[in-house]
Amino acid sequence: MPGNPNEIKLVNNAMSNATRRKIMNFLSTGDKSTEEIGGEIGKTMLDFHLKLLQQASLIEIEEGTVRLSEYGKNFLKEKEEKGADKTAEISQAKPIEITEVRQLLPCIADSSKFRVIANIAPPLGGTLKVLEPIFPRGRYSDKISALIMQKGEVITTVYGTGKVTMTMVKNEDEAKKALENLRSTINEAIAKGVAPAPREKVRIEPMELYKYLPQTNCGKCGEQSCYTFAIKLMGGEVTLDKCSPLKESSYITNFEHLQVLSAYI
């Protein structure tokens, strides 16, 4: 059964694709031949999808017959139980309102942009984790008990306590529109009373990471250039803390953006 980080990564990668999730669900009804799977799911890249699922120890293939492994069965069972828990949790959540926009302060990284601090009520607490899939670039942080989202340059953080912060906002009107969009998106999900389905993993390119790096090619990280650092960051060969300039106050917002983007590596 997968347990070490590399094996867990294989499982996460295998289950990040909609076609492979369909294959797993199809196999939950019993053993299937590759022909049956191809007829149900489609034959495009079928061998590739089956290979990734097999490498992740989720399925077993023997003489053209495909079946769920014991780990695969347990994985689906655990996923189903978690889904039921999430649906129960979101069904108990109440619609939110933006109660106040308390502060509009200049951003440290760009004084022409603003940092907004607001409040929502009632606080969503752990329900935020369930809502993560409804935001294309959102991730829940257990460390700070908050849902962090990115749209363009703006990073919005919704805390379980009800506090909301936004960075790199152009003006108060943009802040109000973004907060209203946040409110309506969350309330729509709550109204459905069903946990959002897992989303496809967002893919990013090294250039997107490079855009938020200092771009000074100072070499303090041990790499020849910031772009090389971005490539290695994508590959998991380096971590953000290796870039010492990002710890400077002038790069605080850049660092926040990179933290969000790194969730999709």
What's the chain's Rg over C-alpha atoms?
A: 22
Better pLDDT: 87 or 225:
225
- pLDDT, mean of residues 113-142: 85
pLDDT at 254 over 60: yes
Question: Which of 161, 158, 165 lies closest to 141, judged by CA?
Answer: 158
pLDDT at 43 over 90: no
Question: 103 with 187, same domain?
Answer: yes
pLDDT value at residue 84: 47
Check if the beta carbon of residue 175 is closer than 8 Å to that of residue 114. yes
Question: 167 with 227, same domain?
Answer: no
Place of tokens 């199809």: 26
pLDDT at 228 over 80: yes
Question: 107 with 182, same domain?
Answer: yes
pLDDT at 198 over 80: no
Give residue 239's Cα distance to chain centre.
Answer: 18
- pLDDT, mean of residues 118-122: 93
Of 7-21, 51-65, 171-185, the one with minimum mean pLDDT is 7-21
Query: What proportion of the chain, given as a percentage, has pLDDT over 90?
Result: 28
Question: Which of 182, 149, 155 lies closest to 168, judged by CA?
Answer: 155
- pLDDT, mean of residues 44-73: 90
Question: 154 with 215, same domain?
Answer: no
pLDDT value at residue 36: 93
In sign, the C-alpha dihedral spanning 210, 215, 217, 219 is negative
Q: What token pair was written down for 99?
A: 């109660």
pLDDT at 112 over 70: yes
Q: State the DSSP H helix or E strand holding residue 89, giving kind and residue range, or none if neither.
A: helix 70-91
Better pLDDT: 208 or 220:
220
What is the CATH classification number for the domain harbouring 49? 1.10.10.10
Better pLDDT: 9 or 87:
9
Domain boundary among 30, 54, 82: 82
The mean pLDDT of the chain is 83
Better pLDDT: 96 or 256:
96
Q: Are strands 146-151 and 138-141 parallel, antiparallel or unpaired?
A: antiparallel
Place of tokens 């999709």: 264
User: Dmax of the chain from CA atoms?
Assistant: 65
pLDDT value at residue 104: 79
| Euclidean distance between CA atoms 188 and 96, whole angstroms | 10
What is the CATH classification number for the domain harbouring 168? 3.30.310.10
| Euclidean distance between CA atoms 19 and 46, whole angstroms | 9
What is the CATH classification number for the domain harbouring 211? 1.10.15.40
pLDDT value at residue 82: 57
- Asked whether residue 197 is assigned to any structural domain, the reply reads no
- Asked whether residue 44 is assigned to any structural domain, the reply reads yes
pLDDT value at residue 251: 85
Query: How large is the angle between the packed helices 46-55 and 34-41, nearest 10 degrees?
Result: 110
pTM summary value = 0.56
Q: How many domains does the chain have?
A: 3
List all residues 6 or more positions away from 222 whose beta carbon is below 8 Å from its beta carbon: 242
Q: Domain range holding 210?
A: 206-262
Look at the chain and count its residues. 265
Question: Which of 73, 84, 79 lies closest to 27, judged by CA?
Answer: 73
